[in-house]
Structure 1
Amino acid sequence: KASTFALRTELTKGDEEQYRIEGGYEVLLTYLETQCKERGVHFIFSQPVQQLHWKKNEVTAITQKSNVTAKRALITVPVGVLQAEGILFSPRLPQKTEAAKKLGFGHVVKVSLVFEEGFWKDNANTTGKDLHDLNFLFSEEAIPTWWTRHPKKENIITGWLGGPKAQTMHLLNSETIIQKALYSLSNIFSLDVIDLKQMLQSAHFYNWSADEFSDDCGMV
């Protein structure tokens, strides 16, 4: 466990400031939406595009509910959607489709755990080390990378796993992954997993690779 703390100190030294959006990314998206609407932008939600019919200076997006025509279309779907040809282009775009199929992407598993108290702030749980200012924590556990909301005084710690191991783990159900997250923290801090479960208020699991609109694509 000492090597874990040493690695954390080494990798975070000199990088004390952590920039996060107050209130989460929803605040940013809401701001952008408001700014766009003030400039006449019209948003259509919950209508996945199935086809794009295009010609010079005109493109029509076809969904199950409606058709939308414009001069241009900016395609920002996950690369997995393009690789699986989840949107039918007419005329087809074989060169772009083949190029998309050559792009790689990474799988990501993310778990946020909310505790009654920030147990990592108690020296009794950190082999006497003062981790009140803990930002990032690195380990060799099943869920290896962790970070807190420091400097905000919130009892939330988030675990992250990427790469080939995440590709395997994303097939597991959320309950199993949350269990692995708790056991990872148990090993890192040498705490009884039963005690962690008793302190746990809620758990939130994010699995982008399993998202129906990503076509098994995690993050590019």
Structure 2
Amino acid sequence: MKSNKNINFGLYLVTDRDVLNGRDLISSLADAIKGGVSVVQLREKHTASRDFYDIALAVRELTARYDIPLIINDRLDIAQAIGADGVHLGQSDLPAQVAREILGKNQLVGVSTATVEEAVQAESDGADYIGVGALFKTGTKSNTRQVTPELLKEIKGSVEIPVVAIGGINHSNVEELDGTSVDGIAVVSAILGKEDIKQAAKSLHAKFQDIN
């Protein structure tokens, strides 16, 4: 398990098997990691617990092989059961403070935020990093709140912990985050929805490096 002080959040991949169009999740993630993905968040919103557990075990084996962190979306129990590096929580999920008490200080707790107040609260509650968005229109998640690049910059300046931008980020709009000083970008379709996953990750990573 990695120390949460040494995490590279640069290219943060959130899974969504629907955008893979039947392609294998594990081999797709391997290609993404080879292309530069530095963190994987496993998100399975509509999967039964046993299936989620089995998938998470397989993904855990892969991420361990490449020595990158695996974050589990929402499900603290799954994160603990498979020895994940941490959990990512939304505003309607288990409170970050409670997750921190359960997980202890060595595992990662990430929180989705869309306002300065939520960001400051997440940091106060013990979050290791925050996800901020949605920056752009996204097809992989409904009921998102809009965050402008200007607000993203303001949120980044309000906390000391790493900030990861999320929501509809792709190869054609990532440059709009120039000047925000974010620590990483979280994407789904911009990598997993592409025919050549490794190349998509590689080029997006390069674009983010150019503005960072």
Decide which structure has the larger Cα Rg and report it. Answer: 1
As a proportion of its length, which structure holds more helix? 2
The two structures have a TM-score, normalised by structure 1, of: 0.23
Greater strand share, structure number = 1
